[in-house]
Structure 1
Amino acid sequence: MTERASNSLADGKHTHATADGLDLHLRPRSWFGTLGGPFAYRAFTTIWVASLFANIGGSIQNVGAFWLMTSMAPTPAQVSLVQTASTLPIALFALLSGVAADAWDRRLVMLASQVLVCSVAVMLAVLCATGQITPLALLVCTFVSGCGAAMFQPAWQSAVAEQVPRSELSAAIALDSFSLNFARTAGPAVGGLIVARLAPDVAFIVSGVSSAGLIYVLLRWRRRDADVKAPRAPRQGLLASLMGGIRYCLGSHGIRSALLRSSLFGFLGSPVWALLPLFAKRQFGGEAGTYGILLGAFGAGAACGALGGAAMRARHHPELVLRIFTLTFGLGALMTAWSPCKAVAMLGLAISGSSWVVVVSTYNLAIQTASPSWVAGRALSLFHSCIVGGLAIGSFVWGMVATATTINATFVISGLFMLVSMLLALRMPLPSPVPYDQCPEIAR
């Protein structure tokens, strides 16, 4: 065993003993120690904190946009378009953002995305303050802001490997998932309070300030020369770059298996996302408040799963983690469908929420560590496209099933299929990590 030089990122120092280039832990760390590992690196800590506030700001902006559309055009079709405008860019531009993350400096890609998000938030605030906001302007601004968010995510996730060593990557990804899901839980509550007590334009101002904070942190991120000069995808035509990334991912049996399995997981899990509002209304006769409580239970479970998943992966093989939490997601869906009261439904949704995040982050980690640095951004963006695509197609299909049967029956059917889907691991194993000399960005 040889000692490797300490890894210093923006004055954050951490030393690992290695053998043959691999990071080793001499003894298992506690759950808190596992999650706290990435915070030993100042670059990760500052960017993570800033992105947490930016994620919360984005959720607050969404609340302001929904409420503003409700007051301007209070029809279900118009209000639902706000959700479409915010999520459609992920499905449309995830692969393009992956190309950008591989071909250009990821720090610059993240900066550009946050400048776009901040500019949109400021524009919305100005339009509201001057009384010039319209439903069309709100939808266009929401769509453009969603484009910025879609551009940011692949670059941020592939750049995490520039901030922590490979031994801390699982915990770092878990913390990233926690940031997103905590924002989805806390953001709507804070946003609702801001909109109710103040005005929607204040929500947009808060979002702009939070994005500006992340811009400031990214500008001050001091990187090592090895990270700045890390190999990038060769500059080539957009279509050629896209097809090159797709060919690599589909040509790798392990990555292809992970993509197919994650797509199916998104498809089978989509009823919980798509039909929850109607479930709250029909099962318990509730309105928006009941839906908010149930959605909050799912979000709280997701936040807990983001933290607990890292500890599980530190102690168990990823395949075992996937099987356990695919099983618990299905059981959570069944519990929700058969719930006699809100408390049981909340417990089932919390179980499903935590399972969702653990499964998605485990697939994320498997694909990221199996991809060489020159294609990592496109592999992650393809993964996001598969998850979102499974959700989008599943929402439509399961909506048709619910129309022909009932929402409860749809939850039961999808939950049972989720249990059966665990058998795919026998024929579609996860990919193995790439050798360190092929992945210089995370081979520290």
Structure 2
Amino acid sequence: MSRPSAVAAFGHRNFRLFWSGQLVSLVGTWMQTVAQSWLVLTLTGDPLALGITAACQFTPVLLFGLFGGVIADALPKRRTLVVTQAVSLILALVLGVLVITRAVEVWHVYLLAVGLGLVNAVDMPVRQSFVVEMVGREDVANAVALNSAVFNGARIVGPAVAGLLIGAAGIAACFFLNALSYVAVLAAYALMRAGELRPAVRIAMAHTVRGVLGQLGEGLRYARRTPVIRLALLTLGIVAVAGMNSSVLMPVYARDVLGGDARTFGFLMAASGIGSLSSALLIAGGLRPSLKLVVLGATALGTALVALSIVHVTVVALPLMMVLGWSVIAMAATTNTLIQTTVPDELRGRVLSIFTTVFAGSTPIGGLIAGSIAALAGVGAALFVGGAVALGTAGVAVTRLRTMPSGGGVRPASQGAG
């Protein structure tokens, strides 16, 4: 009997293990995200420090994420992911020890954030490109959507639990639980059956600067000359810089605008997660990925940010955060799926590294800009500027979309690069 299309990827044992491990680990990751932001705000009281933290964590992705794509296309993906997850476990453990011993200073957080960023520069493109090896091209769109669903399901639970746990047991508990959660991922990789994986043909790892740059160039040229991929990445990148800065702005918004505390911040992030989960489930259920959905996401995000800039009541802010979360995944999961289903196997890691670079790597720029505006003119001004830029980007994307005869839909790749 064939499985319903909404869960087709669960027909693959290795993917079920991967998904289950991610479910546990991502709850811990979101707990650490909330705890780290609240820790920095507690240590400094300065929204700019939150921007600096985001810059420390995501600048390595911006600088080295494309090189991570070369690694994804050259090295065994499962073994590489075991290393990255083990290092992430150690980093979370160190931060927990620093907090519980009261030795932590803000520069410690910055340094560990850089370390995690370096890990993510490799982990993100490798993990994204590993999906197709577990499920094959025929189920990759569903697998991407299910990954988004678990990511955002964790985004609902993790922040809410973190907000409550910080009040009950302190910030350090979040870091220790995150470290423990990585054990689930490592166990999942260990239990996978290598014979059921569908590894792509790996490229030879270049050993010279010119060779590495040449391999990077192949992925960049493919993205540039493929209109659907180019417009999706440009739209996502600009909107991510302008409007996807929740880790920087929401702690300050919760405290200064809504008059709340860590629990308020946690519930805001959880509300965003509910919206994101609903978006992921729609895509998993068969919503066709297209550039129209990317543009709709940009429009919804901009509208939600502008509305949040004038809202001072938690009960109104929560549904707006749901819209914000829906729009982020509508853009990100759709762009990811467009890449997964159109890019040739031998280029997938490098083109996906462009996606992770513009999505996650935009945070250093956007976080510093948003933090600076919030410090100078208030968090409301930062939200309004981000929303206005997102709406403007959506308007430009609509004009470009009208020139595409296919309407920005998916065109499956051939197996070769061509």
* 2:340 counterpart residue number: 368
Q: Deviations over 1:196-231 (max 9, x none)?
A: 333444433322221122112112211237724x31
Q: Deviations over 1:291-349 (max 9, x none)?
A: 444333222211221212232xx254623433443443344345434557443332222
Q: Which has the larger radius of gyration?
A: 1
1:438 aligns with 2:409: no
SS in 2 for 1:224: helix
Instruction: State the distance in 2 between where 1:380 and 1:101 align.
Output: 9
Q: May I ask how many residue pairs the two structures share in their alignment?
A: 407
Contact 1:233 1:375 in 2 (8 A): no
Superposition map of 1:10-25 within 5 A = none
Contact 1:102 1:232 in 2 (8 A): yes
What residue ranges of structure 2 are gaps of 5+ in the alignment?
A: none
Shift of 1:70: 5.7
Instruction: State the distance in 1 between where 2:262 and 2:144 align.
Output: 32
Q: CA RMSD in A?
A: 3.5
1:307 aligns with 2:281: yes
Superposition map of 1:128-207 within 5 A = 133-207=104-178
Runs (4+) of structure 1 moved beyond 6 Å?
Answer: 398-402
Instruction: State the distance in 2 between where 1:68 and 1:224 align.
Output: 44
Superposition map of 1:20-99 within 5 A = 33-66=4-37, 69=40, 78=49, 81-99=52-70
Q: Which is bigger in relative contact order (C-alpha 8 A, separation at least 6)?
A: 2
What residue ranges of structure 1 are gaps of 5+ in the alignment?
A: 1-13, 16-28, 440-444
* 1:358 counterpart residue number: 330
Deviates more, 1:192-201 or 1:375-384: 192-201
Instruction: State the distance in 2 between where 1:153 and 1:337 align.
Output: 32
1:410 aligns with 2:385: yes
* 1:208 counterpart residue number: 179
1:385 aligns with 2:357: yes
Q: Deviations over 1:104-135 (max 9, x none)?
A: 11111111101111222333445556666554
Identity %: 26
SS in 2 for 1:163: helix
TM-score by length of structure 1 reads 0.78
SS in 2 for 1:227: coil
Q: Report the residue type matching 1:235 in the other structure.
A: M
1:344 aligns with 2:316: yes
1:420 to 368, 388, 395: 395
Contact 2:160 2:263 in 1 (8 A): no
Shift of 1:243: 2.7
Mark the CA change 1:348 to 1:423 in structure 2 (over 3 Å): closer, same or farther.
Answer: farther
SS in 2 for 1:143: helix
Q: Deviations over 1:382-407 (max 9, x none)?
A: 11212345555455566777867962
Instruction: State the distance in 1 between where 2:166 and 2:242 align.
Output: 35
Contact 1:116 1:148 in 2 (8 A): yes
Contact 1:191 1:203 in 2 (8 A): yes
Instruction: State the distance in 1 between where 2:38 and 2:198 align.
Output: 43
SS in 1 for 2:84: helix
Contact 2:14 2:196 in 1 (8 A): no
